[in-house]
């Protein structure tokens, strides 16, 4: 590399914090967004709060790998999963999942292009959202994913502690692919339906570490708001 090239490379590296590894240090942003992700102000506030506590404990930055997923983005993610031969079993609300899978299969059977299949899946998701039904909290801008690969036991514990300190969130450690899925719980609000209207903390600590989302089968409630939405 020429001297000029070297200088340019160094300047670029310094100017692009997103490219920096989340190494030790207490300066700069407390977290890093990975890839082309979307975040809402509510998500940024939540991530900031958790990442600051996490950094105090570990001197490291959190890596956020997913955030707000409007319908087309959610459809594309589900398309990729199905195309790869994966299952959508993690989405446990079959009433919402099945029509999306049906749209995918119909498009594939008709040999539609990827974009057209995703558009058909998006249409189903958009109609569900319009009815106030969300297959994933990412669709509502109320979930974000954090990279778990490469975190030490101590760092994982620090993340759990940071979440507990900040409060109002629930974490699920997912295995395929490995990541922490963190949901922002709704604040309790007065309601004639009583406790069922409020997110319960049942998933928080117990399900956190290394426990697949399926493990709480049968112990949930019928309240869709209370049920965790993995992925
Ligand atoms: Zn997630």
3-state secondary structure the chain: CCHHHHHHHHHHHHHCHHHCCCCCCCCCCCEEECCCCECCHHHHHHHHHHHHHHHHHHCCCEEEEECECCHHHHHHHHHHHHHCCCCCCCCCCHHHHHHHHHHHHHHHHCCCCHHHHHHHHHHHHHHHHHCCCCCCHHHHCCEEEEECCCCCHHHHHHHHHHHHHHCCEEEEEEECCEEEEEEECCCCCCCCCHHHHCCCHHHHHHHHCCCCHHHHCCCCCCCCCCCCCCC
**CA of residue 84 to ligand 1 center, whole Å:** 18
Provide mean pLDDT across the span 90-111.
95
Residue 185 CA to ligand 1 centre (angstroms): 14
Residue 213 CA to ligand 1 centre (angstroms):
11
The reported pLDDT for the residue numbered 34 is 92
Give the Å distance between the CA of 106 and the centre of ligand 1.
Answer: 27
Q: What is the pTM of this model?
A: 0.71
- Judged by average pLDDT, the poorest of 17-26, 83-92, 161-170, 199-208 is 199-208
| pLDDT per residue as tens digits for the range 44-94 | 999 999 999 999 999 999 999 999 999 999 999 899 989 988 888 888 899
Distance 5 CA to ligand 1 centre (A): 40
Proportion of the chain above pLDDT 70, given as a percent: 71
Angle of helix 114-130 versus helix 71-83 axis, rounded to 10: 130
- Distance in Å, CA 187 to ligand 1 centroid: 20
Q: Is the pLDDT score of 203 beyond 70?
A: no
Which one is predicted more confidently, 195 or 83? 83
Ligand 1 mean position, distance from CA 24 (Å): 26
Centroid of ligand 1 to alpha carbon of 173 (angstroms): 9
pLDDT at 210: 37
Distance 144 CA to ligand 1 centre (A): 5
Q: Confidence class of residue 23 from pLDDT cuts 50, 70 and 90?
A: low
With a cut of 70, say whether residue 223 has pLDDT above it: no
Distance in Å, CA 181 to ligand 1 centroid: 4
Cα(74) to ligand 1 centroid in Å equals: 11
Q: What is the pLDDT of residue 4?
A: 45
CA of 116 to the centre of ligand 1 (A): 25
Expressed in angstroms and rounded, the spacing between residue 114 Cα and the centre of ligand 1 is 23
């Amino acid at each position: 590399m020429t001297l000029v090239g070297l200088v340019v490379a160094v300047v670029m590296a310094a100017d692009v914090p997103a490219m920096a590894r989340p190494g030790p240090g207490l300066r700069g942003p407390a977290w890093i967004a990975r890839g082309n992700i979307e975040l809402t102000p509510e998500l940024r506030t939540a991530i900031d709060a958790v990442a600051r506590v996490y950094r105090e404990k570990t001197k490291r930055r959190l890596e956020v790998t997913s955030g707000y997923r409007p319908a087309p983005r959610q459809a594309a993610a589900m398309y990729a999963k199905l195309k790869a031969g994966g299952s959508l079993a993690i989405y446990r609300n079959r009433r919402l999942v099945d029509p999306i899978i049906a749209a995918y299969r119909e498009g594939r059977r008709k040999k539609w292009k990827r974009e057209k299949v995703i558009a058909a899946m998006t249409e189903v998701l958009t109609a569900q959202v319009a009815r106030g039904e969300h297959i994933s909290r990412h669709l509502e801008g109320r979930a974000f994913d954090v990279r778990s690969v490469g975190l030490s036991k101590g760092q994982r514990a620090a993340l759990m502690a940071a979440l507990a300190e900040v409060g109002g969130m629930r974490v699920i450690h997912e295995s395929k692919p490995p990541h922490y899925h963190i949901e922002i719980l709704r604040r309790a609000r007065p309601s004639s339906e009583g406790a069922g209207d409020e997110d319960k903390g049942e998933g928080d600590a117990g399900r956190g570490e290394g426990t697949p989302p399926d493990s709480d089968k049968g112990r949930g409630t019928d309240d869709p708001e209370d049920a965790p939405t993995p992925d």
